[in-house]
A = this chain, B = another copy of it.
């Protein structure tokens, strides 16, 4: 008999979030280290979460008129260098291919850190007239950026799975609208499925995407008071259409430079899921994004095996028919205790225990992963009961993360208070900022807090002068330390 505790999480979440996080990822079977430092492998359970995220986004992208495509991985140096700010931003982290087989290449090739340059050099050939616009294409691929800082699975890796969308429009208004359509799709995914609240707003000039006119962002707050950028959607203006000559003949018979956007989310969202919802027992997945929503564990002694297993299959099939993601853990080589423990570490939101006595009573025993509450229901109403309890778990998890965000939200216009909040609990600090990059840089240098976001909506009341230079200003900004 294998001991259940041997595979348990041995660190408490609130004592050492970083070690806890890594243990959960390995022990829940989401990912593993790869042979090259900074790279990871996704195990099937981790990949299944990514597939669900992908399915939700892919459907919404298609509903809003986007199509998928494929771009090559390798970008010639000359092309990457065409938009200078952009290139400079990525230079320190680009992987370069310099050899093929036994030969040196004439021009070195970058592994895509992001695809603006290659996409736009190609789009420029596809566009002649306003009839060819808009172009709205998304790419599901991976990007490579050699991380020099400490890496953290899903949060900061040298290779990551993501999607990058690239659009081209006839006018600026349409491009700006696109930026917001996408930000809203991201917000709905993250809040409604991942059960994580975010603050939507603008990045500062300093923090915006290199080459963008402006960057919109969704900022999340982790359980340790550190912020995490969850998704970004950029208005590129004509910053790329000019160097890449993306021009179209308008209905006015004149040539115009087009307007562009780009946007993306990565598997970082999986990291956020782990950090936000997990507990000392391990992972805890919101039902709407859980690859396994319900696990049925048949409990039996040898001679009852066939009888109990066949009932478990029957219940499982009823639930599957109603569209739920269910597995039945029939393995003979593990004890029930070992199985309970494994599914708790893996964060399956609901467990059904099924033994001979339950069958006799036409009952099922349910165990919620979020509260560990255990109770009995009638077998006859299993679909309704399970569906509504999954909804309840989903709501409960969102309420919890909203509470966390609330607890980690402060406002102040005193720089001393600002620093002491950062040193005690961290979190988001609403404050007032003059808009000068010099103040933003000073705050970062002196406190380690970035300007996370200039929120679109703000109900916080902050006195109207800059937190750093004290110049009068009505500009609200949210600062915080971040991943």
* Interfacial residues, chain A to chain B (CB-CB below 8 A): 32, 34-36, 39-44, 46-48, 50-51, 67-76, 79, 91-102, 108-109, 111, 118, 121-122, 125-126, 131, 137, 142, 144, 146, 148, 159, 161, 331, 333
Answer whether A159 and B72 are a contact pair too, CB < 8 Å, given A67-B48, A98-B99.
Answer: yes
State whether B125 touches A75 (Cβ < 8 A): no
Answer whether A36 and B68 are a contact pair too, CB < 8 Å, given A73-B144, A91-B101, A96-B100.
Answer: no
State whether B34 touches A72 (Cβ < 8 A): yes
State whether B72 touches A44 (Cβ < 8 A): no
User: A333 contacts which chain B residues (CB < 8 A)?
Assistant: 131
State whether A34 touches B122 (Cβ < 8 A): yes
State whether A97 touches B95 (Cβ < 8 A): yes
User: A159 contacts which chain B residues (CB < 8 A)?
Assistant: 72-74
For A43, give the chain B residue with the smallest CB separation.
B69
Within the complex, what minimum Cβ distance (angstroms) separates A139 from chain B?
Answer: 9
State whether B97 touches A111 (Cβ < 8 A): yes
For A138, give the chain B residue with the smallest CB separation.
B44
For A58, give the chain B residue with the smallest CB separation.
B51
User: A93 contacts which chain B residues (CB < 8 A)?
Assistant: 100-101
State whether A79 touches B42 (Cβ < 8 A): no
For A122, give the chain B residue with the smallest CB separation.
B41
Q: Which listed residue, B46, B70, B144, touches A161 by the CB 8 Å rule?
A: B70
Within the complex, what minimum Cβ distance (angstroms) separates A61 from chain B?
Answer: 12
Q: Which listed residue, B41, B91, B126, B331, touches A72 by the CB 8 Å rule?
A: B41
Copy number in the complex reads 2
Q: Please report whether the interface of chain A is mostly helix, strand, loop or mixed according to DSSP.
A: mixed
Known: A47-B69, A72-B159. 20 other contacts (CB 8 A): A32-B126, A34-B118, A35-B76, A35-B79, A36-B109, A40-B72, A43-B69, A44-B69, A47-B70, A48-B67, A70-B161, A73-B142, A92-B101, A96-B97, A96-B98, A99-B108, A101-B146, A101-B148, A111-B111, A131-B333
How far apart are the CA atoms of A71 and B31 in the complex, in Å? Answer: 10
Answer whether A32 and B100 are a contact pair too, CB < 8 Å, given A51-B68, A67-B44, A72-B159.
Answer: no
Answer whether A35 and B121 are a contact pair too, CB < 8 Å, given A50-B70, A73-B144, A99-B96.
Answer: yes
State whether A39 touches B101 (Cβ < 8 A): no
For A93, give the chain B residue with the smallest CB separation.
B101
Q: Which listed residue, B42, B70, B75, B109, touches A42 by the CB 8 Å rule?
A: B70
Answer whether A47 and B68 are a contact pair too, CB < 8 Å, given A101-B91, A101-B93.
Answer: yes
How far apart are the CA atoms of A93 and B68 in the complex, in Å? Answer: 29
Query: Which 4 A-B pairs rank lowest in CB-CB distance, beginning with the nearest?
Result: A44-B67, A42-B70, A100-B146, A39-B72
24 A-B contacts (beta carbon < 8 Å)? A32-B126, A34-B118, A35-B122, A36-B74, A40-B72, A42-B69, A43-B69, A46-B70, A47-B67, A47-B68, A50-B70, A91-B102, A92-B101, A93-B101, A95-B99, A95-B100, A96-B97, A96-B98, A96-B99, A97-B98, A98-B98, A98-B99, A100-B146, A101-B148
For A130, give the chain B residue with the smallest CB separation.
B333
How far apart are the CA atoms of A142 and B95 in the complex, in Å? Answer: 17
Within the complex, what minimum Cβ distance (angstroms) separates A19 from chain B?
Answer: 20
How far apart are the CA atoms of A137 and B48 in the complex, in Å? Answer: 12
How far apart are the CA atoms of A32 and B100 in the complex, in Å? Answer: 23
State whether A118 touches B35 (Cβ < 8 A): yes
User: A98 contacts which chain B residues (CB < 8 A)?
Assistant: 96-99
Within the complex, what minimum Cβ distance (angstroms) separates A34 from chain B?
Answer: 4
User: A39 contacts which chain B residues (CB < 8 A)?
Assistant: 72, 74
User: A73 contacts which chain B residues (CB < 8 A)?
Assistant: 73, 111, 142, 144, 159
User: A109 contacts which chain B residues (CB < 8 A)?
Assistant: 36, 95
Within the complex, what minimum Cβ distance (angstroms) separates A462 from chain B?
Answer: 40
How far apart are the CA atoms of A94 and B126 in the complex, in Å? Answer: 32
For A141, give the chain B residue with the smallest CB separation.
B142
User: A69 contacts which chain B residues (CB < 8 A)?
Assistant: 41-44, 46-47
How far apart are the CA atoms of A126 and B44 in the complex, in Å? Answer: 12
Question: Which of A41, A48, A121, A137 has most chain B Cβ within 10 Å?
Answer: A41
State whether B92 touches A102 (Cβ < 8 A): yes
For A121, give the chain B residue with the smallest CB separation.
B35
User: A100 contacts which chain B residues (CB < 8 A)?
Assistant: 93-96, 146
User: A44 contacts which chain B residues (CB < 8 A)?
Assistant: 67-69, 137
User: A92 contacts which chain B residues (CB < 8 A)?
Assistant: 101-102
For A68, give the chain B residue with the smallest CB separation.
B47
For A125, give the chain B residue with the smallest CB separation.
B32
State whether B41 touches A70 (Cβ < 8 A): yes
